[in-house]
Amino acid sequence: MDYIRLIKNTIEYIEKNLEEELTLNSLSEKVFISKYYFHRIFSAVMGCSLKRYINQRRLNRALIYVIETSDTIADIAYRLQFTSQTSFTRAFKARYGIPPVKVRKKSFQLTPQPVPNVLNRSMKNFNSDVIVDFTFVEEEELTLVGFYMDVNLNDPNIQYKVNSRAKTFLQSIKAKDEYNAFAVYFKSSDEKKSECIRTFFGIDLKLDNQRIDWPRYTIPNMLYAKFRYTGDLLHIGDLVVRDLARWMTIVKIEMHRTSISFIQAYDKEYKDNGLSSLFLPIRAVPQ
């Protein structure tokens, strides 16, 4: 089953029918799947319940109506399937921090959000649940040369900062041979800096006969759960962390006690189509 296409079609339908009754039963019947399994698929792909998603998209549409129309708040509430103006206002304030009347008076400026993008990735059925697809692999010890950075995935300019540092690094070593690039993300030991992830960005180019001033890092021989994603972790980090948290909860595999949180590898496939590998250290492959 193509879980991603299924949810993309569902999201398109929801967006076109926000003013109609939308329930787990009605949506699951449209795709001929039991409501329990459909809910698992939706939660796995989108990271939230169907009910919460529909509520957020209705409030987003309500925000557009509040800003762009002269419809009363009550009319907007009932139009979008809220049971009363009071319940709508309560939900609107919980979502945006202010009641809709203040938005209409232009006391605050809010921006409607586009339909969320559903990232293409392989999903699989595992013990009657749905998780991101994976394989088990053992990788040999690998020495990288590169640089350390503290990465804040919430920083909108982080990709530019990393790319600038990487450009300086590559120019300094004058790499001519083919190489693979890696990002090694480490576990945080300081709760105050939990929003930043200590990271080593490096390449596997052999530089034994070349004097360099850049640091090296050796990834030890370990077992991993391997995942495949389209896109850079600096752009899809929140989704990846969510996927892996769900995966660990459902698969229940003991993690390797190491300073490495996970590794992302950028090989030829990444250069060709943006597909990279993500490695999560594990203690043992289950029998």
Tens digit of pLDDT for each residue in 45-65? 999 999 999 999 999 999 999
Structure tokens at 49: 């319940």
Whichever domain contains 221, its CATH number is 3.20.80.10
Q: Does 230 reside within a domain? A: yes
> Rounded to whole angstroms, how far apart are CA atoms 169 and 165?
6
* Percentage of the chain modeled with pLDDT above 70: 95
Write out the residue range of the structural domain in which residue 182 sits. 135-282
For residues 53 and 96, membership in a common domain is answered with yes
Per the structure, the count of domains in the chain is: 2
Q: Does 36 reside within a domain? A: yes
Whichever domain contains 34, its CATH number is 1.10.10.60
pLDDT beneath 50: ranges in the chain? none
For residues 33 and 164, membership in a common domain is answered with no
What does pTM read for this prediction? 0.82
Q: Does 129 reside within a domain? A: no
Q: Does 209 reside within a domain? A: yes
Tens digit of pLDDT for each residue in 101-128? 999 888 788 999 999 989 889 999 998 8
Decide: 58 and 130 in contact? Cβ < 8 Å. no
DSSP for 140-167 reads: --EEEEEEEEEEETT-TTHHHHHHHHHH
Of 239, 282, 283, 246, which Cα lies nearest the Cα of 263?
282
For residues 65 and 19, membership in a common domain is answered with yes
For residues 181 and 148, membership in a common domain is answered with yes
For residues 65 and 95, membership in a common domain is answered with yes
